[in-house]
Amino acid sequence: MEAAKSYLKTIASSAWIRLLGGRGEFYELADRTALVREGDLSKEVCTQLVDRIDDILSVRSQPRVWRDKVDSDARIWGFEQDIGDLVDQFQISRRIEAIEKYLGRPVRSWFLMANRVVPQESNQGSGGGFHRDSPFSHQVKCIWYLTDVASDNGPFEFIPGSHSNAIPSRDRYPLGHYRLENIHKDDRLVEVLADAGSLLVCDTKCIHRGKPIETGSRYAVTLYTSPHKDGWERQLRGLGLDFPPKQKVFDE
Ligand SMILES: [Fe+2]
């Protein structure tokens, strides 16, 4: 019964995108899974944002900060509250319009998350290993690299096509599963290597992770959007966090 439900949900989600979405600035995601736009932020802005992240993370008791168990991944939730005018640099309204057109449904809330990832023994990389952000519905994340990202400092990596081939690949990756232990040996992983200031846009229904970091550091800002007004609470509750609701909410 569960398997049949998962099957139907997967079919419904693909049909939704085909009929109502797949348009706008990010339309290519339907075929390409991820896009990279170099030079979306200037180097100067990247430097200012990195400094701001370091300042915030230097205070251990800062609210809205989460750290993973091995102190490799440190995250500032609701980062838009910390950066004043710099938030305009992300052109949030433009991104949201593009996301709505791709998904074919309205965005009702959003927030930014900034993170710094550094090497620690047995770190799992940003995001804690291979996963899908949502196993059934399509979802879009915009991720800005604030530092140059190479293969050894924690690039985003994903399986091309895995946002749209859940049914044919269900023997490898069971439908409805968020977390995935390993990638099948025949699947090709793409590492997104790009300079500071690059914008990576991804349909994060795909199988992806931040590659475990070996050297240096990786700074990034991610735009989270939700079809729900309480997207912030839903997201953080899912992570076992309990910060005050502060996301930007759009009126009907
Ligand atoms: Fe993710």
Is the Cβ–Cβ distance between 154 and 125 less than 8 Å?
A: yes
Rounded CA-CA distance 32/46 in Å is 27
Q: What is the 162 CA–ligand 1 centroid distance (Å)?
A: 13
- Determine the distance separating the centroid of ligand 1 and the alpha carbon of 126, expressed in angstroms: 8
CA 16 to centroid of ligand 1, rounded, Å? 21
Q: What is the pLDDT at residue 250?
A: 60
pLDDT score, position 241: 75
How confident is the model at residue 246, as a pLDDT? 57
What integer pLDDT is reported at residue 178 of this predicted model?
Answer: 76
CA–centroid distance, 133 to ligand 1, in Å, is 5
* CATH code for the domain of 152: 2.60.120.620
Give the integer Cα–Cα distance in Å for 232 and 109.
Answer: 8
User: How far does residue 208's CA lie from ligand 1's centre (Å)?
Assistant: 6
CA of 74 to the centre of ligand 1 (A): 15
pLDDT at residue 21, rounded to an integer: 87
Rounded to an integer, what distance in angstroms lies between the CA atom of residue 175 and that of residue 1?
A: 13
CA of 129 to the centre of ligand 1 (A): 9
Nearest Cα neighbor of 28 from 252, 220, 202, 151 is 202
The answer to whether residues 7 and 175 touch, using CB atoms and an 8 Å cutoff, is yes
How far apart are the CA of 39 and the centre of ligand 1, in A? 23
Owning domain of residue 126: 2-249
List the pLDDT tens digit at each of the 252 positions of the chain.
677 777 777 777 787 888 888 899 999 999 999 999 999 999 999 999 999 999 999 987 777 888 888 989 999 999 999 999 899 999 999 999 999 999 999 999 999 999 999 999 888 877 778 999 988 889 999 999 999 999 999 999 999 998 887 777 777 777 777 788 788 888 899 999 999 999 999 999 999 999 999 999 999 999 999 999 988 888 888 777 766 655 566 654
Check: CB of residue 208 under 8 Å from CB of residue 131: yes
81 CA distance to ligand 1 middle (Å): 22
Residue 89 Cα to ligand 1 midpoint, Å, equals 23
Predicted TM-score (pTM) of this structure: 0.91
Ligand 1 centroid–CA 60 distance in Å is: 25
Distance between Cα 176 and ligand 1 center (Å): 15
Tell me the CA–centroid distance for residue 131 and ligand 1, in Å: 6
Which among 228, 222, 246 has a CA at the least distance from the CA of 73? 222
- How many Å lie between the centroid of ligand 1 and the Cα of residue 73? 13
Other CB atoms within a 10 A radius of the CB of residue 3 amount to: 11
d(CA 36, CA 207): 17
Q: Quote the number of domains for the chain.
A: 1
Give yes or no for a contact between 91 and 45, defined as CB atoms under 8 angstroms apart. Answer: no
pLDDT at 85: 87
Distance 178 CA to ligand 1 centre (A): 10
CB neighbour list of residue 5: distance below 8 Å, 6 or more residues apart: none
Backbone φ and ψ of 18, nearest 5°: -65, -40
Which whole-number Å values give the CA distances from 42 to 100, 194, 198, in the listed order?
26, 14, 9
CA of 204 to the centre of ligand 1 (A): 6
